[in-house]
Amino acid sequence: MEAMVTEAPVDVDAAEAAIRACVKRFYEKGDADPLLGPIFARAIPDLEPHLDVVANFWSHALLGTTRYQGTPFGVHVNLPLEPQHFSRWLSLFVETAKETMPEPLAAAAVARAEHMTQCFQSGLFPFKDAEGRPSNVPV
């Protein structure tokens, strides 16, 4: 079976396997990361079901599947996140996507992750501080 990620058709089974590999590896890196690890540890009490949810999200985002039925922003809004968490998340995600996914899928995942990072930061940090950095406090 094939699906469209970009202009090129993608083998869905191979893409699903790559998505799962990416999600698993990303959370291995995130758990070990000094900045993200403590957030992950507090927010994700049971990793395996969370990996399924996240893989379903990326399958939906990249392949158009319908298994994911959630709102990513709503899940993250009450976490103790700061702008530097998003920079690190994106850096780890880009690295992992490029390691675990074929190029068309990785490029689509990275583009989506960059967009999500911008949207989440705009929602969580709608103001800029005196130096122009994202902030949740008006100057």
Here the CATH number for the domain that contains residue 108 is 1.10.490.10
Distances (CA, A) of 136 to 49, 82, 85, 124, 127: 31, 9, 14, 6, 6
What pLDDT was estimated at residue 8?
60
For 2, which DSSP code?
E
Top pLDDT among 51 and 138 is at 51
| pLDDT, tens digit, 9 for 90 and up, residues 7-34 | 566 799 999 999 999 999 999 999 999 9
**pLDDT value at 5 more than 60:** no
With respect to residue 133, please indicate whether it lies within any of the assigned structural domains: no
**Domains in the chain, number:** 1
Which residue type sits at 96? T
Query: Which DSSP string corresponds to 10-75?
Result: EEHHHHHHHHHHHHHHHHHHHHH-TTTHHHHHHH-SSHHHHHHHHHHHHHHHHH--S-----HHHH
With respect to residue 40, please indicate whether it lies within any of the assigned structural domains: yes
With respect to residue 139, please indicate whether it lies within any of the assigned structural domains: no
What mean pLDDT is predicted for residues 115-127? 91
With respect to residue 132, please indicate whether it lies within any of the assigned structural domains: no
